[in-house]
Structure 1
Amino acid sequence: MRFSTTLLPLALALRASAMYDDWYFGNMFALGPTSNNVHITKATYSLVPPAVPCGSQQNGSDEAPWLAIWVGLSASMSDQTADLFQPLLNWSPDQESQACPASNQEWCVATSTYHLSGQVQDPYVPVPNDSQLDFTITVDQASNKIIQQVSVNGKEISHQADDKTINPTYIYSSNECYLDACGTLAAYSWKNMTIHLSDADLNFQNTIALDGARDSGMTTPDNGKTWHINSMRIDRDYFYPDQQDHECGSD
């Protein structure tokens, strides 16, 4: 496990600055920025989703909390005008409130892009328990689109193509909770992550920042143009209004 002394404060600042309007960001990893005008051209990764959170609280609010876990590509971690291309796994104790056609014992998934003007996404699709999701985000220069794809067992279940408004220089993740009442989220791991760059960037491995996360190490088969991480573990996370850790389940 490696920590970037320059980017870890940035990751922590993102987490802290996001705690407004009832949005709370938890454990995460970040890689970037790339160097010398190099940008990310493709990212692939897989996930077997963890158990849905336990211990969520509605606290008398008319709104139900909801939690999303994601990996996304952007040109910045701090500039809110930089679009974020982020397929979302979403869960709420009231799934209907999130237009998620699943029980509260299942996740939903959708390709999704955050714009400053709002979120644009494909409809949510239920995720069968214990299934593996495969994600691909491609920066397609020929079509001038950024294309997101999510598959289960080789079958595509969500697809989105947006205008290429950025050249991505960061890939990063988060656990994201609305109302800070999502409960306890078990640890989980993003697997088989491969990041393709437009050109070689040997410094890319030194930009990693980990907050409540552990990586298996980065390798490159082609001297810095392609990077691979076998596993990126995101530790157990807690979202409670009292800001305390409450154990209600096991990994």
Structure 2
Amino acid sequence: MDCFFEDNPSGSSGSSPQVDRLALWPGMETANSGLVQSIIASFANPAGEAPEGCGGQPGQWCLFASFYDGNANAQSSGNYVPVSEGGMLDIESTDNYDDSTGATVQNVYRDGQLLSTFTSNSGRPYYWDIAVECQDNVSGNMPAHTYHNTQIVLGAADLDLINQLYKAGTSDSGLSSPDGGLTWVVDTVTVDSYPYTPQ
């Protein structure tokens, strides 16, 4: 999957400074209450050290492969890397599940260079989704962003997958399968910009 992200990463409209924290991510929930996430986050101080920044410059985002363990309520991550808005990121989550390891390997690339990787052991991924998280002091207009060339490869063919979708605040080019329900492809998924007010 390629993710193109744009707009101002401030977490608010106009030229307001970045605040903690706005996070965009595609993810896969796993059989053992895990969540595999490739996260692109805007921090108040991107120059800070992980997990509060990534050694970046003002206006940059921080990208990291990550895993949330729902059983332990704990987040673990690979390298935090600064990236600039307007660029394309290749996000690859490969399900290497077998009975002995149950491993899922995440790799995130830009221009063929591996930026962040993380391996988790939480069983087979069974649910794919994308999300925008508005945390802490975030308010204002959330940025629109688009996922390109997304491919989902199942463990077994399922022609009914197209009827199991839940969509809200997004538009897409349509889901299709070239091989009878094993591989599913969608050219574009766009998450709309929307206003957010802290509760």
TM-score bin, normalised by smaller chain: 0.7 to 0.9
Q: Which residue identity is paired with 2:44? A: P
Between the aligned partners of 1:152 and 1:223, the Cα distance in structure 2 is 31
Listed one character per residue, the Cα deviations across residues 147-195 of structure 1 (whole Å, up to 9, x for unaligned) are 00000001111111112x2221110111001125243222111110000
Cα deviation, residue 132, structure 1: 1.1
1:46 equivalenced with 2:46 (yes/no):
no
2:43 maps to 1:87: no
TM-score (norm 2): 0.86
Where do 5+ consecutive residues of structure 2 fail to align? 14-18
- Is 1:88–1:110's contact at 8 Å kept on the other side of the alignment? yes
Counterpart of 1:189 (choices 119, 141, 146) is 146
Q: Give the strand-richer structure, 1 or 2.
A: 2
Q: Equivalent residue for 1:125?
A: 81
1:198 Cα deviation (Å)? 1.1
Alignment correspondent of 1:148: 106
Q: For residue 101 of structure 1, what is the aligned residue in structure 2?
A: 55
- Identity, % of aligned positions: 27
3-state SS in 1 of match to 2:54: coil
- 2 CA distance for matches of 1:55 and 1:84? 24
SS at 1:221 equivalent: coil
- Count of residue pairs brought into register by the alignment: 187
Task: Name stretches of at least 5 consecutive residues in structure 1 with no aligned partner.
Answer: 1-44, 58-63, 244-251
1:239 positional shift: 2.4
SS in 1 for 2:67: strand
Letter in 1 for 2:86: D
Aligned equivalents of 2:78 and 2:11: distance in 1?
29
> Cα distance 1:129–1:144, how it changes in 2: closer, same or farther (>3 A)?
same
Query: What's the RMSD between the two structures over aligned residues?
Result: 2.1
| CA deviations over 1:30-88 (Å, ceiling 9, x no partner) | xxxxxxxxxxxxxxx1112222334649xxxxxx5201000101147xxxx61000010
Counterparts in 2 of 1:152 and 1:51: CA distance versus 1, 3 Å: same
